[in-house]
Structure formats: C-alpha cells, structure tokens
Amino acid sequence: MSSSTHDMEARTSSSQFLLSKDLPLEHLLPRHLILSTAESSDDEDPEGLSEHDREILRRAIKEIYYFSKGTKETDLVLKLNGRVIESNQLEAVLEETKVRYNRPASNILVLKAMPTGVHESVQEFAIRALEKLRSHILNPDEARCLYPAWRTVLLPGMIPDDPDAEVDRDNDLEGRGDERTPDAMYGFRLHAYPQFPVVFEASFSQPYDKVLNVMRYWLTKTDGETRLVIIVDIREDRQALNQQRRKDVVKQRIAQLLRESGSPLAMTRNDDILEYLSSIDEKTMGSCKRKPLRSLQSRVHPEDWVGPLQVRFEFWESTTSGPRKRGRSVLLMPRQTRARLLPPIRAGDLIPPEYQDRFPGFDASRSFRLDPSEYQSLLEEEIPMLAFRRACRFLCPEKYENC
C-alpha cells in the first residue's frame, strides 16, 4: 500500500466518522451483525481484513446504523477502501438496516437520505402517471412490459471504444458495476433482463450542480438503457421559515411544545427557548402538563417547521451528442402550471429502441403530458408529515442522533 493511500484511509477513520466512543457496538446492532473487537491476526479474520480495516469497518457500521435510525434529509458520503466496501459484513449491515445507497466509485459509499414525504410524493406521482401512460398511449402488449420500480440498480456502464483501455473507476469515468438508487423509475422487461428507460430523481434543497450530475450519470453510464430523466427539483425557502419563527405567536407555540413534550436533551440544547418561557404570562402559555410525543401531530403547525416550497420540473433526454433538456424548465409551485406546458413523455421513451419492432405498427411519437396539479396535491398532503418529523427530531434528538 502506498503512503498516500494509507494516509487517506487514516484520515477516513478519524475525520469521516463522528461517533461516540463510549457506546459499544454490541448495544446498537443485532448480534449476528456485530463485528468482533477482539484482537486477532489477519489470518483469523474470515475476510482477511487487517486491524486497520476492521476499525474502519466498525466505524462505518456505527455510522450506517445511526443514519438508518434518523430522519436525515441529506445524503451521507462515506469514503472507504475497496476491501471494506466489498466486505460481507458491510453488505449484511446494509441489508439489515434497509438503507438505500449508491456506489458511484470503488471507494465511495453514498447513503441515501431516508425517504421523506417529499420523495414519496414523487414515487406516488410516478405510479399514477404510469397507469395513465399505459391506458392513454400504449397498447395492452406494450403496457404489460412496463412496471414502476424504486430499487438499487447495477449499472452496465459505458463500454470503451478500446477494449484494452484502462478504466479509472476511482475517478468515476465509466461507471460499470456502480449502483444507483433513484426515487422512482419505469422498468421494461420483455425477457429476463430488465431495463429502466425512464428515471425520476427528486432533489430536496440540494445544489443544482449535484442534481445535474445525477442526471448525467443515468444518461451517460447506462449504455443507452436510460433514455429520459425527469428531475423534480424542490427548494425550500429557509429564509422565509426563519422569518416565520421570529413571530411571537410562533415562538410561543414552539416553546409550548418543548415544555410539554421535549426530552431533557432537547431542553438543554434549547435553553434560550426555555428562558423565553419565563417572559411569557402563564395564562398565555397555558397548562404545563406534560404530553406524550404521540399526541404531537395535532399540535404541530406545518408553517412553523417547513418553509414555502418551490417545485421545478425538468426533462432530460439521451441523444447521440449527450444529455439534452427537453423543452423548458417548468415551475409548478408556488404558481399553478397548465399541463400543456410540461414536455411530453413519448412511447419511444418507454419502449427501448431494440424492442420497438417487436410490437406491430409501433409509433414512437405517441405522447402524454404529466398533470402538474396532481403532483402539487400529493406534495401538499405530505407537508404536514414533514413538519411532524422535524418537530419530533427537535423535541427528541437522542432518538435520531448519535448523541
């Protein structure tokens, strides 16, 4: 191993994982997932991991476990070496915790943020849209080959023109064998091997460049199998949310929740809010009787926890010259958008070109436009649940964090 590689792994083991050293792993995971901490030689490890690798693996397991418990709204990137990332023990933990993940490079594991109502609204929207696509533009034989899916996909990658060319996987040039987990996708299966021609990717307050990188990955690293990526770019106005929380009536509501249902840790972290209680008349604050967390949902005001949302749809298609935007970006929220303004989904997007001649009289130009008002309704239904999740995390952080 080169000194630079060893230094990178050493930094990974110390700075990439912010973990409590006082909490034994045995208290966190089912027994069959516990990585033994007993000192042993490399020969005693069933996978031949060194002591250094086992420490990296141990820390990764803890991080995955805490991530799976939480309500994270952003992805977590773990930098590991190839021996750890390919280990059976790490694979078992990922399977046990049901964490969604991507492997964009041989030494990178990206834990996908747990689906919130925002992401689940995209899944539901994709399902409903596919039912309409089946009935409006596809015949029964074509429709039977399509199904909704949201699972981790092993990408075929791009085959180099030169078969002897060296593939730099660490720099993510080819993508063969990498794993991706979209928010939703349409699967096509005529024979044993499925393809995923249409992919939905929801972005919740993430940098736009990151969203475009995900789109390019699907359209350039799947050997032409993914032909259309629909981006649902959702942005929250956190400045407006902060302004909302400066209002006295909102301060009182949050203070009341903290006093009635906050954990000791939540009260310690938010002692400024508790100090605010002393300046409020007891009649204004109401009863100080403690209330269970399960009764919280009816007491949460969504506008106190979720800022105004802006939703933008973009359609990106695969062409011989690379990814190209289909039509314009379309703003759905806060203003209403008519369906005819959205770019169409065509039959040629759903049925891979190599299979189109299997269907007599196939017309690739048949098209259907998604209904933006349907998605807006689904998203608005999920906002109260997102507010509830955030309130729970605020009031009981030790349940969701590595405290």
Distances (CA, A) of 137 to 127, 142, 160, 161, 326: 16, 10, 36, 37, 19
Per-residue pLDDT of the chain (403 residues; tens, 9 = 90+): 444 333 333 333 333 333 333 344 444 444 444 443 333 344 445 567 888 888 888 888 888 877 776 656 677 788 888 788 888 888 888 888 777 777 776 788 888 775 567 778 999 999 999 999 999 999 999 999 999 987 777 766 554 444 444 444 433 434 445 677 788 999 999 876 889 999 999 888 788 888 898 899 899 988 889 999 999 999 999 999 999 998 988 988 998 888 888 888 888 888 877 776 666 655 444 445 666 666 788 889 999 999 999 999 999 999 989 999 999 888 888 776 665 678 999 999 999 999 999 999 999 999 999 888 889 899 999 999 889 988 988 888 877 654 4
Residues 281, 336, single domain; the answer is no
- End-to-end CA separation in angstroms for the chain: 35
For position 30, what pLDDT does the model report?
A: 45
Would 163 be classed as within a structural domain?
A: yes
Final residue belonging to a domain, choices 90, 111, 132: 111
Kind and range of the H or E run holding 324: strand 322-325
Kind and range of the H or E run holding 256: helix 248-261
For position 71, what pLDDT does the model report?
A: 58
Residues 124, 224, single domain; the answer is yes
Residues 214, 362, single domain; the answer is yes
Residues 73, 132, single domain; the answer is no
Note whether 162 and 191 are within 8 A (CB): no
pTM above 0.85, yes or no: no
Would 377 be classed as within a structural domain?
A: no
Cis omega (within 30 of 0) on the bond before 182?
no
Residues 212, 79, single domain; the answer is no
Q: Report H helices in 25-136.
A: 51-69, 82-85, 88-97, 117-136
Domain count of the fold of the chain: 3
Rounded-to-10 torsion of CA 6, 8, 12, 14 = 70
For position 363, what pLDDT does the model report?
A: 96
Q: Which domain holds residue 295?
A: 239-306+385-399
